[in-house]
Amino acid sequence: HERELLAYRELSAETLDGFRLALRGNVELADEVPLAISQGAEGIGLYRSEFLYMNRPLPPSEEEQLQAYRDILAKMAPHPVTIRTLDVGGDKFVPEINLADEANPAMGLRAVRFSLKERRLFKIQLRAILRASAHGRVRVMFPMISGVAEIRACKVLLEEAKAELVAEEIPFNAAISVGIMIETPSAALIAGLLAREVDFFSVGTNDLIQYCLAVDRGNEHVAYLYEPLHPAILRALKMICDAGREAGIEVGMCGEMAADPLYSLVLLGLGFDELSMNAPGIPRVKRILRQLRRSEGVAILDEIFGFATAREVAEYLEIEMARRF
């Protein structure tokens, strides 16, 4: 079975009616890139850069980051690599950085909020990402955006970093693609406003589900409430995809939800352009997508949105998938 799945490595994730999705890998370290390639990843859709900052006394220098980013780019070429800026806080604890002792860390000073507070650190990272963009297809992505002001503040700093590099005559790609993660309920609700500000969205369902359903993603006592097919989540995903399509920007998903083949039909129908996941999930999802039609995904949406519980949606999808496979 494994060998059969690996046969999909060389094939694109194209549906029977010619709709092509990009299947990309999620990685935390450059070492994981060869595995992603071996599983058929067409790029890295989520590079969790915070792992560069962990288990060390001081944050990585601009040069060190540049080397790490170039290493990943070189391994992944000619495919694109989406570098997510530092996402500390919440469940990602970097002892040297998380100075504040917060009562409610998931809603505290995490991710882009931390970066916008520690601007010196943020600027170093932006400069390193920009410099890497001279060496391959880099996209920069900001995590945990909850409003338009935050993305604008990020873009101001990015422009400052660009101006510095110009003045220093250091090369970079001035047209670097800028995106955000959609992983807060507010970002989903104002997806139309956010879409005007960026080149792409990537939905972080791990956090989006946690925040939309008010269910701690790491708490076993409420794990039974953590439902990707909850009608509220499906509605949020539809709002995000519709807003992205209307604005003409790419919409991806890089949360765990992207890797479950039971959801592929729905994600196809909603119109995701990119699904990014841990490497081992790629061949399975690709195999499923290649045997579906986008039109089938669109056709089931009405049905899907008529159900009142995640259980009903799951049962319906299980029947639909069993009919096909």
Residue ranges for the binding site? 48, 84, 183, 206-207, 217
**From the list 254, 282, 288, 289, which residue makes contact with ligand PEP (rule: CB under 6 A)?**
254
**From the list 25, 89, 255, 281, which residue makes contact with ligand PEP (rule: CB under 6 A)?**
255
**From the list 206, 212, 238, 275, which residue makes contact with ligand PEP (rule: CB under 6 A)?**
206
How far is it between the farthest Cα atoms of the chain?
61
Give the Cα separation of 208 and 269 in Å (integer): 20
Partner from Mg ion, ligand PEP, none contacting 205, C-beta within 5 to 8 A by type: ligand PEP
Q: Of the two residues 16 and 29, which places its CB atom closer to Mg ion in the complex?
A: 29
Q: Which residues of 299-316 are buried (b: 16+ CB within 10 A; e: fewer)?
A: ebbeebeebeebeebbeb
Work out whether 48 is an interface residue with ligand PEP (CB under 6 A): yes
> Which residue reads 């999909």 in tokens?
8
**From the list 32, 42, 207, 320, which residue makes contact with ligand PEP (rule: CB under 6 A)?**
207
Partner from ligand PEP, Mg ion, none contacting 255, C-beta within 5 to 8 A by type: ligand PEP
In angstroms, give the least distance from the CB of 143 to Mg ion. Answer: 6
C-alpha closest to that of 85 among 37, 56, 122, 120: 122
Q: Which stretch binds Mg ion (CB under 5 A): 42-50, 206-214, 269-277, 290-298?
A: 206-214
Work out whether 183 is an interface residue with ligand PEP (CB under 6 A): yes
In angstroms, give the least distance from the CB of 138 to Mg ion. Answer: 20
Residue 320, token pair as written in the block: 């639909």
**From the list 89, 136, 204, 269, which residue makes contact with Mg ion (rule: CB under 5 A)?**
204
In angstroms, give the least distance from the CB of 181 to ligand PEP. Answer: 7
Residue 128, token pair as written in the block: 């390193």
Q: H or E stretch including 14?
A: strand 13-14
Work out whether 50 is an interface residue with Mg ion (CB under 5 A): no
Beta strand 13-14 with 20-27 is antiparallel
Give the Cα separation of 193 and 248 in Å (integer): 13
The 98-137 site mask, x for binding ligand PEP (CB under 6 A), equals: ----------------------------------------
**From the list 32, 42, 199, 207, which residue makes contact with Mg ion (rule: CB under 5 A)?**
207
C-alpha closest to that of 252 among 321, 196, 205, 184: 205
Q: Which stretch binds Mg ion (CB under 5 A): 50-58, 74-82, 133-141, 196-204?
A: 196-204
Contact 32, 25 (CB under 8 A): yes
Please report, in range form, the residues annotated as the binding site for phosphoenolpyruvate: 48, 84, 206-207, 217
Give the Cα separation of 35 and 202 in Å (integer): 22
In angstroms, give the least distance from the CB of 318 to Mg ion. Answer: 28
Quick check: is 254 catalytic? yes
Can you spell out the DSSP letters for 78-100? Answer: TS-EEEEP---BTTB--TTT--S
* Binding-residue total with ligand PEP (CB under 6 A): 10
Work out whether 227 is an interface residue with Mg ion (CB under 5 A): no
Helices (H), the chain: 2-6, 33-38, 62-76, 112-117, 119-132, 148-167, 185-189, 191-195, 205-213, 231-247, 264-270, 282-289, 294-306, 310-324
Residues of this chain that bind ligand PEP (CB under 6 A): 46, 48, 87, 183, 204-207, 254-255
